[in-house]
Amino acid sequence: GDVFTYDPGFTSTASCESTITFIDGDKGELLHRGYPIDQLAEKSHFLEVCYLLLYGELPTAAQLEDFESRVTNHTMIHEQMHNFFRGFRRDAHPMATMVGVVGAMSAFYHDSTDIADPWQREVASIRLIAKMPTIAAMAYKYSIGQPFVYPRNDLDYASNFLRMCFSVPAEEYHVDPVLSRAMDRIFTLHADHEQNASTSTVRLASSSGANPFACIAAGIACLWGPAHGGANQACLEMLREIGTVDRIPEYIARAKDKDDPFRLMGFGHRVYKNFDPRAKVMKKSADEVLDLLGIENNPTLQVAKELEKVATEDEYFIEKKLYPNVDFYSGIILDAMGFPTSMFTPIFALSRTVGWISQWKEMLTDPTQRIGRPRQLYTGAPYRDYVEVEDR
């Protein structure tokens, strides 16, 4: 029969060619369209990075203005979609709500589902980038029993999101520019990461020609898991559980114990074997945000820093090349901003949407791409004849 390469987890199989993102795992380098992530996080902002990922070049001032206004004009969701939220239990995880609501978009926006039409692809892209913060914020508001807050188009992307999450009709709400900058940086650091599990899921789903909104819902489902986007929630919960620096050795010992399934959340990466450049920026940002909010001696940050120090000096972690990843410090910032841990992964999802969309667009215009159809090595029973139930 046919002979296949056995590559579980796709550690050595390239599924596509791409011009979007480059990662050098040994050097700890991440480039979007050639630009390093630390420069983008420092000097650019999320919507500009969205433009770069989607269209390949940094925008001129006029192009950026046009792009931002197009995104801004699509921030509201169809009013009928509010009923979707209301169908969920209040205690549903916001990621569960998002998988459902984003999937439901496929039933609402019929003018942006013809994937053969470049204009419809464009409209679907803009809609998803524009509406994801609204959907994530509504999932949050629903979970805490507060009224939905409509988007405000005079605010920038990050400020609008913060306002939709934290304002209530009873009071004026002013977005702190420091927080909105930090929020924007978190979005930027998560924007794309080449063929990770959720992006590969979006590509595989769309390889059959499926509805774009349904494909993004598939990406959200994949991202939710604790080995992927769910690690930010799991990491902060772990840091809180450790609680004080004196308990770190106990957790390090557990992480090293072969018979204990416990892993240090926010540690390790399939591709980065030196350090995750996003974690570096995130660590600096955590310091800045806590400083600016006047939060001194944050116990979680203290545990995180000490844990990083102890782990990165430990034989086991050195040998296995395990370093803090993007999720290690992000939760500390989000927690300081007032987000519950259940909102960490939805924030990752809204940030990664542009990456999913950019890869989806690239795939649809790549003539070498075909329906994704992995093969297998069959290890089951050989041919045998059916046995009647009374003879078993």
Task: Please report, as ranges, the residues that interact with ligand CMC according to CB under 6 A.
Answer: 9, 196, 227-229, 231, 255, 263-270, 320, 322, 325-327
Question: Nearer to ligand CMC by C-beta: 7 or 57?
Answer: 7
Question: Nearer to ligand CMC by C-beta: 70 or 270?
Answer: 270
Question: Nearer to ligand CMC by C-beta: 112 or 285?
Answer: 285
What minimum distance in Å lies between the beta carbon of 268 and ligand CMC?
2
What minimum distance in Å lies between the beta carbon of 117 and ligand CMC?
32
260 given a catalytic annotation: no
Residues in CB range of 260: below 8 A, 6 or more apart: 254
- CA–CA dist 218, 85 (Å, integer): 18
The single residue listed with the structure tokens 């990922």 is 53
Question: Nearer to ligand CMC by C-beta: 54 or 235?
Answer: 235
- CA–CA dist 135, 148 (Å, integer): 10
What minimum distance in Å lies between the beta carbon of 320 and ligand CMC?
4
What minimum distance in Å lies between the beta carbon of 49 and ligand CMC?
18
DSSP string for 331-346: HHHHHHHT--GGGHHH
For residue 389, the SS3 value is helix
Q: In this structure, what is the dihedral angle of CA atoms 293, 299, 304, 306, given to the nearest 10 degrees?
A: 120
269 given a catalytic annotation: yes
C-alpha separations of 190 from 113, 186, 187, 282, 326 in Å = 26, 6, 5, 11, 8
Beta bridge partners of 324: 267
Residues 4 and 377 sit within 8 Å (Cβ to Cβ): yes
Closest-approach residue to ligand CMC (CB): 268
Residues 106 and 134 sit within 8 Å (Cβ to Cβ): no
Catalytic residue among 228, 269, 276, 335: 269
What minimum distance in Å lies between the beta carbon of 270 and ligand CMC?
4
- CA–CA dist 214, 221 (Å, integer): 11
Catalytic residue among 327, 366, 385, 391: 327
- CA–CA dist 211, 45 (Å, integer): 29
Question: Nearer to ligand CMC by C-beta: 180 or 195?
Answer: 195
Question: Nearer to ligand CMC by C-beta: 163 or 305?
Answer: 305
Question: Nearer to ligand CMC by C-beta: 86 or 320?
Answer: 320
C-alpha separations of 97 from 156, 174, 354, 369 in Å = 25, 27, 20, 32
Residue 287: phi and psi, rounded to 5, are -60, -50
What minimum distance in Å lies between the beta carbon of 314 and ligand CMC?
10
Q: Which of 120, 88, 123, 121 is nearest to 104 (CA)?
A: 88
Element housing 32 (H / E): strand 29-32
What minimum distance in Å lies between the beta carbon of 37 and ligand CMC?
13
Residues 30 and 23 sit within 8 Å (Cβ to Cβ): yes
Indicate which residues carry an active-site annotation: 269, 327
